[in-house]
Amino acid sequence: MTRLYTLVMYLLTPVILYRLVIRGLRARAYFWRWRERFGFFPAPPFESSIWVHAVSVGEFNAALPLIRQLMTRFPDQALVVTTVTPTGSEQVLRNLGDDVFHVYLPYDLPAAIHRFLKRTNPLFAVVMETEIWPNLFFVSKERGIPLVIANARLSERSLQGYRPVRPLVAKALNCAAAVAAQTETDRQRLAKLGGRPELLHVVGSLKFDLQLPPDLEQFGREIRSDWGPERLVVVAASTHEDDEEALLPAFMELLRRYPDALLIIAPRHPERFSRVITRCRSLGLATASRSEDLAASTSTEVFVLDTMGELLNYFAAADLAFVGGSIAKVGGHNVLEPAALGVPVLVGPHTFNFAEITEMLLSRNGAMRVEDQATLARRLLELAEKPELRQEMGRCGFELVQENRGALTRTLELVEAAVQDLRPLRSTNAAVEPPASARS
């Protein structure tokens, strides 16, 4: 099966390149740095490294506290960070710059992987969430590279999707030195996938350990002052087309009752930025964008956040948040960022990617679920009319985040255990700094 998988990967390479071209027509960054995707890049200026892989923006944001702790604990080692998407790459460069060596993860072709590992020579690796690439895992084990899967999650849909290749995926999964599952449900699904019980550990979600800039709330207050501090501000995060088809009419209903309301909308994919701006203007909404107008004005009704890496700033200025990918049948996105800032959350019916975390937030009354445009419009009006309800929901969500911190410490313990026999590696065993609180 391994040989058949590798043959299929080589045969699919032209299709993968064609897909890159298609995506490049929408986001030109996909045209760049193709050689890295085959393991070709200039030799880095170090003999060995620690390697962290985070496929895109969400995974990198969750990994950032872990990366910073690895840099502190292993100060003598270079750190390599790989991503798959240009937006993930942009986040690495924005947040870490020259402090790390960054390239794209090569395709799961043995020759490309050998080139990547030979050039970077990682002493150990941390792979975020459930990026199980069989050849990558097999070659890493062959080269004696301990690999820890951090923040691992597995939806029921993904578990069923692996069914035709379950023996191959199980073999790859068991190459890991440890798997840090987010929840007990994730651990059970990984066990069903074929993971050996002694490898699987429940540590919680690293997303609870997000570190917020200490001046974030002050920044939120300052940007609100430019919009008009008394306005109702709704932030719609990581939206897809089906989310927007429900959201925009619902917001227009809100405007009839609250004409000074402001919608901040952050589409999930950069290639859709211009389309969202055009769609909002076609509905007659006074629309501005971050790239063209820099800031919303008192007359702006919709502000499109068409930049990357700034969403937290706008959550800090929000009265309530809608998290996308949840009316669209995508499976939802991260609800913890607004919750950590004490912002009440609305989600649609499709949250299977973050099922347990979303249910935790719903059960603690930090979030409300909406089914469609009509229920979204009702909830927006209800929360607009009841500031005390918004405040209570925000408090509940904030407390949930505070109570569930600790995955970072537990994940680092698994990493330390996995690499304790590596002689060239020296850890300072620095204590994990407590994450910055969103509120005193």
Query: Cα separation of 83 and 103, whole Å?
Result: 7
Query: Cα separation of 111 and 139, whole Å?
Result: 10
Q: Which residues contact 103 (CB under 8 A, 6 or more apart)?
A: 33, 36, 41, 80, 82, 116
Query: Cα separation of 251 and 7, whole Å?
Result: 50
**Of 308, 286, 307, whose CA–CA distance to 297 is shortest?**
286
CB atoms within 10 A of CB 217: 17
Q: Whats the size of the chain, residue-wise?
A: 440
Query: Cα separation of 139 and 383, whole Å?
Result: 53
Say if CB 246 and CB 325 are below 8 A apart.
no
Catalytic residue chosen out of the listed positions 59, 90, 129, 301? 59
DSSP secondary structure letters along 219-279: HHHHHHHHH-TTS-EEEEEEE-HHHHHHHHHHHHHHHHH-TT-EEEEEESSGGGHHHHHHH
**Of 50, 354, 383, whose CA–CA distance to 208 is shortest?**
354
Is residue 392 among the annotated active site residues? no
Q: What angle do CA 315, 330, 391 make, to 5 degrees?
A: 30
- Helix H or strand E encompassing 167: helix 166-173
Say if CB 231 and CB 262 are below 8 A apart.
yes
DSSP bridge partners of 235: 264, 321
Crossing angle for the helix pair 407-419 and 57-73, to the nearest 10 degrees: 60
Query: Which positions are catalytic?
Result: 59
